[in-house]
């Protein structure tokens, strides 16, 4: 979620800059009315709350792979479910529709925000009655991955559409003096929503965590179930959306920034003209391939730790101490990426992030040897936490560098569209390798059935039959380690040859990144 979420933050910040700089381009003077933060505190709170709601579906979708892993689903199934996370990387495909088609009397942003949030609420209520049956292990069949993926894909599609509407409204809900708070609301709100939907939910859903820290008498279930959580937030979505639809009016004061409206076809033509630029085309190809070397470490490691017995709620709680680091790192790194060559930082951090893939593989290999009857010792979690912290430093160094380069080369006349395009390609460059890495784990892994003669473990049905006959499938060769090595080799190959090509893009003239707009 981190790179996807922060890419959204940067889109907001870039749009703010464009809006704030537009006053000088107006050919006539507009009476200036200054608004203090206190005057718009209600709008800031509403915007913050809308971004919190936006983070809930992201957090819930992020918790499902950990729940599935605890139910021993195959990595092929995990790969299939990973398509759920693609809508946020593909929202550029329908964003022009959201920007251009609306009911003027109801409001440009409310025309999409209200029905989308109603549908999200109804989806949550529907899931609260069906998700348990979809996740249940029904004999040899296991969880219904196809239905889960279809439902959560639509769920995330709606969340991505809500994201487009809220991002657009954020820039006109606040006055020019306070529009800078939009990115703050985005960052804080999404982080809080993701925390509620992922970390807090997984902790309260875990019987072990609740029995150990929150109860006097142990019980078989956690304090809340997934269906309870979905039902609660479904009601919250429906009630608050109704209040927004009735009470909140879209601002039309003269001191508010006016939005530039482009036609749907004009926007799509503009995107196509940007992609046709040779420098942009080369940069997009590099962005789509740069993360291949990190796919095994980023997509598979956490699931492997759960497979080895690390409680999913404990892994989720490790995100809490990471929050201060995630806030400070962009501030520190941005000092080094503010110059004319931000991709130099990307290039220097690249091999360190690749080597973290080896460290993660060692961590997974080491995990079974430190497991105790009561769980894992404190020093194990300290090692995991430090490993993730070092990984975050390299990840954010690359992320901030790429985002800084996006802001540097984007044509200011069409900055919002340009930035969204580059961020979309960046996100896709992380999605497809992750899905592929998950898909290849099972074919590269060898298992044998011990305790039941003549049985094999080549498929889910064979695993179920082995278990039914009193045997157990034991991994003799783990494809994760093969993937880790292959990804690192591919990553270093990319770094040696294509990484240098990416650095050279910084030497291109500004005109090479600007497209000619036809009137």
Q: Tens digit of pLDDT per residue, the chain (519 long)? A: 455 555 555 455 544 444 444 444 434 444 455 555 676 788 889 988 999 998 999 999 999 999 998 887 889 999 999 999 999 888 888 888 887 888 888 888 899 999 999 999 999 999 999 998 888 855 556 788 999 999 999 999 999 999 888 888 877 787 777 776 777 787 788 888 999 999 999 999 989 889 888 888 888 888 999 999 999 999 999 999 999 999 888 755 444 445 555 677 887 888 888 889 999 999 999 999 999 999 999 999 999 999 999 998 888 888 888 888 877 888 788 888 888 899 999 999 999 999 999 999 999 999 999 998 878 999 999 999 999 999 999 999 998 899 889 888 887 666 567 877 888 899 999 999 999 999 999 999 988 888 877 778 877 677 778 888 888 888 888 999 999 999 999 999 999 999 999 999 999 998 889 876 544
Query: The pTM is what?
Result: 0.85
CA separation for the pair 312, 309 (Å, rounded): 9
Fold of 263-444+479-512: Growth Hormone; Chain: A; (1.20.1250)
The pLDDT assigned to 462 comes to: 79
The pLDDT assigned to 152 comes to: 93
32: which DSSP letter?
Answer: -
Q: Which two tokens stand for residue 192?
A: 């809080």
CB 443: neighbour CB atoms within 10 A?
10
| Residue 326 CB burial class (10 angstroms; 0-12, 13-18, ≥19) | middle
The pLDDT assigned to 157 comes to: 94
Provide the β-strand partners of residue 473: 449
The pLDDT assigned to 416 comes to: 63
- Annotate 117-137 with b (16+ C-beta within 10 A) or e (fewer): bbbbbebbbebbebbeebbee
Q: Phi/psi of residue 474, each to 5°? A: -115, 130
Report helix, strand or coil for 473. strand
Contact 17, 419 (CB under 8 A): no
263: which residues sit within 8 A by CB, 6+ positions away?
100
CA separation for the pair 331, 134 (Å, rounded): 43
The pLDDT assigned to 23 comes to: 42
CB 64: neighbour CB atoms within 10 A?
21
CA separation for the pair 25, 23 (Å, rounded): 5
CA separation for the pair 91, 424 (Å, rounded): 8
Q: Which two tokens stand for residue 329?
A: 């790192």
Residue in 348, 407, 305, 390 with CA at minimum distance from that of residue 9: 407
CB 440: neighbour CB atoms within 10 A?
21
Domain with CATH 1.20.1250.20 in the chain: 36-250
> With respect to CATH, is domain 36-250 assigned 3.90.550.10?
no
């Amino acid at each position: 979620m981190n790179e996807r979420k922060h890419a959204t933050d940067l889109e907001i910040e870039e749009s703010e800059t464009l809006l704030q700089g537009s006053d000088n381009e107006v050919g006539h003077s507009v009476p200036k009315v200054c608004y203090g933060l206190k005057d718009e505190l209600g709008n800031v709170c509403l915007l913050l709350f809308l971004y919190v709601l936006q983070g809930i579906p992201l957090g819930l979708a992020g918790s499902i792979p950990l729940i599935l892993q605890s139910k021993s689903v195959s990595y092929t199934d995990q790969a299939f479910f990973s398509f759920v996370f693609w809508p946020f990387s593909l929202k550029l495909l329908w964003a022009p529709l959201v920007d251009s088609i609306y009911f003027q009397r109801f409001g440009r942003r409310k025309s999409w925000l209200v029905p989308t949030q109603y549908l999200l609420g109804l989806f949550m209520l529907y899931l609260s009655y069906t998700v348990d049956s979809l996740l249940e292990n029904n004999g040899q069949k296991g969880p219904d991955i196809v239905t889960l993926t279809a439902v959560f894909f639509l769920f995330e599609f709606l969340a991505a559409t809500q994201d487009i509407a809220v991002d657009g409204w954020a820039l006109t809900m606040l006055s020019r003096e306070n529009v800078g708070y939009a990115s703050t609301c985005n960052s804080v709100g999404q982080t809080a929503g993701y925390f509620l939907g992922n970390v807090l939910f997984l902790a309260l859903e875990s019987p072990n965590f609740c029995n150990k820290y929150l109860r006097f008498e142990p019980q078989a279930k956690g304090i809340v179930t997934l269906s309870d959580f979905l039902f609660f937030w479904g009601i919250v979505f429906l009630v608050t959306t109704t209040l927004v639809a009735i009470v909140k009016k879209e601002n039309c004061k003269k001191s508010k920034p006016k939005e530039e409206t482009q036609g749907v076809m004009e926007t799509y033509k503009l995107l196509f003209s940007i992609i046709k630029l040779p420098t942009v085309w080369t940069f997009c190809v590099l962005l789509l391939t740069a993360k291949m070397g990190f796919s095994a470490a980023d997509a598979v490691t956490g699931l492997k730790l759960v497979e080895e017995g690390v409680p999913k709620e404990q892994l989720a709680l490790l995100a809490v101490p990471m929050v201060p680091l995630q806030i400070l790192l962009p501030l520190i790194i941005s000092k080094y990426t503010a110059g004319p060559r931000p991709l130099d930082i990307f290039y220097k951090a690249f091999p360190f992030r690749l080597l973290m893939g080896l460290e993660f593989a060692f961590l997974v290999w080491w995990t079974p040897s430190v497991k105790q009857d009561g769980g894992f010792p404190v020093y194990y979690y300290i090692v995991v936490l430090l490993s993730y912290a070092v990984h975050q430093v390299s990840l954010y160094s690359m992320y901030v560098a790429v985002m800084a380069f996006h802001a540097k080369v984007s044509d200011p006349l069409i900055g919002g569209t340009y930035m969204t395009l580059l961020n979309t390609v960046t996100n896709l460059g992380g999605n497809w390798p992750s899905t592929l890495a998950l898909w290849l784990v099972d074919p590269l892994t060898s298992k044998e059935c011990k305790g039941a003669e003549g049985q094999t473990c080549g498929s889910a049905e064979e695993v179920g039959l082995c278990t039914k006959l009193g045997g157990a499938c034991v991994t003799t060769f783990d494809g994760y380690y093969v993937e880790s090595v292959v990804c690192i080799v591919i990553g270093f190959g990319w770094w040696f040859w294509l990484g240098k090509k990416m650095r050279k893009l910084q030497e291109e003239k500004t005109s090479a990144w600007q497209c000619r707009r036809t009137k």
